[in-house]
Chain A
């Protein structure tokens, strides 16, 4: 059993003026783990993710990602993680191949590696026939699968996925999760947020944020038995309904 910790967070806090968006959260994520980061709108998820990605400095607390400190080594963090969300993923005006080369280049792959990765990705996604198509013309499901492949094109230690499957059809949504499993099997840690509660059950462990704090953190099975819920939907509703903040 691999127990290397790729994310360590201790009493991490972010305040905006009087408002405590993230309130002393602590957790660890193990290499290769699929970690579900749940919470109602406005619970503080996005603020927490921005700190972990090195985009926003914490007010207090300790956090390291891929072995790098979020205060002092945030540039190293950016090189060692991948990120994708439903809102921002690919450049619509570039072709499939251009998007791959662009991101692979940014992440420092050389020309040979880019060529190799491009071939591999197109084959895996069965997108060879669309290599010169503009990303804009692809169906949403393909876009999201391509965006995910590109987010891990540099074999990062961790990939952050912010609602990656919103609006995607149910079959493609499942194909997307197969890709997540495959990445995790390769040792890539997956940190994912979702509003689909069945997807929460695919995670190894799930944390649920309420009003800036982590109210629960465990495997889906344990959460369901501890909170006497038949599904993660039950568990989530029970915890998130306690929220005092307006969303």
Chain B
């Protein structure tokens, strides 16, 4: 059985006279024990999808199951089995750390003791502050408490909506290490993020933009589907270099990537010669160029522009 099945889900919102299509016919399935990433910018439809799957929002049409249960008919069963960490901090700020955890354990008819092993590694980091009110915690600690509360009933599927937004690179890395240890315990994880680099940490990803899935694949599969040959180039005059490259009719795309620009062409042959000509005509200095493999962000941008 698939942990999650989504078939042709459509969700529209009406605000005054304007209608927005948040999800425009989304289909995907997630295997048990898989870490599946929904990768896309704000406004792509990620949260709508999460709220439909956690039975908090009704789709306009389409069909979805979680753990084999229908999100409309069997919503009570789903609510008992899944863990959900919304993007916005949603615990009780006036309760202490421990009170929050006890509250969620009690709601799910369990105790902290019963599932302590599952949350031990995460919860032990905030346990020294267990008498502090949740509202007084720092961002990182709130996140750990929210994850502990979402896990306290040993859910079969864990929904994490943008758990790393606004989180620094170190804490993000630690968070993903934590998710991989949960996966080993057999928990299926659906996680959304706007950080493209996190895609490579998932088993499979769905790239989403404007309510449409651009691609559903393994991270490697997404990358191998990138057909153009991609070059990295830098010079001392980075801004002028980009303007010059973009103005060239043979160039398909040119995007800055840290120290380099990533360039694709409308043709396959003689790319190095072509770039050399651009560099020479523009009298650029300190030039460095080489072919590279696309990363997820290159792929996302290529799919976005199609």
Contacts and interface: CB of A to CB of B under 8 A. Distances in A.
A221 B259 contact: yes
Contact of A168 (B41, B138, B173): B41
A169 B169 contact: no
Contact of A240 (B170, B196, B304): B170
A201 interface: yes
Contact of A167 (B15, B172, B194): B194
A247 B41 contact: no
A177 B255 CA distance: 11
Contacts of A170: 41, 196, 255, 297, 300-301, 304
Contact of A237 (B41, B170, B305): B170
Given A139-B43, A170-B196, A174-B256, A247 B168 contact: yes
A185 B305 contact: no
B15 to A, nearest CB: 8
Given A201-B258, A236-B170, A167 B42 contact: yes
B93 to A, nearest CB: 18
Contact of B256 (A172, A202, A236, A243): A202
B100 interface: no
Contacts of B166: 41, 86, 163, 166, 195
A166 B43 CA distance: 12
Interface residues of A, number: 41
B169 A237 contact: yes
A40 interface: yes
Most B CB within 10 A of own CB, among A177, A195, A201, A231: A195
B167 interface: yes
Given A140-B42, A170-B301, A171-B255, A197 B196 contact: no
B221 interface: no
A61 B304 CA distance: 49
B18 interface: yes
Contact of B169 (A140, A141, A185, A233): A233
26 contacts: A41-B139, A42-B139, A140-B41, A166-B166, A166-B194, A167-B165, A168-B194, A169-B40, A170-B300, A170-B301, A170-B304, A174-B255, A185-B239, A195-B172, A196-B195, A197-B258, A199-B258, A220-B258, A233-B169, A237-B169, A237-B170, A243-B170, A246-B140, A246-B141, A247-B168, A247-B171
Closest A-B pairs by Cβ, 10 of them: A201-B258, A169-B41, A167-B42, A247-B140, A198-B258, A40-B168, A240-B170, A167-B194, A140-B42, A201-B259
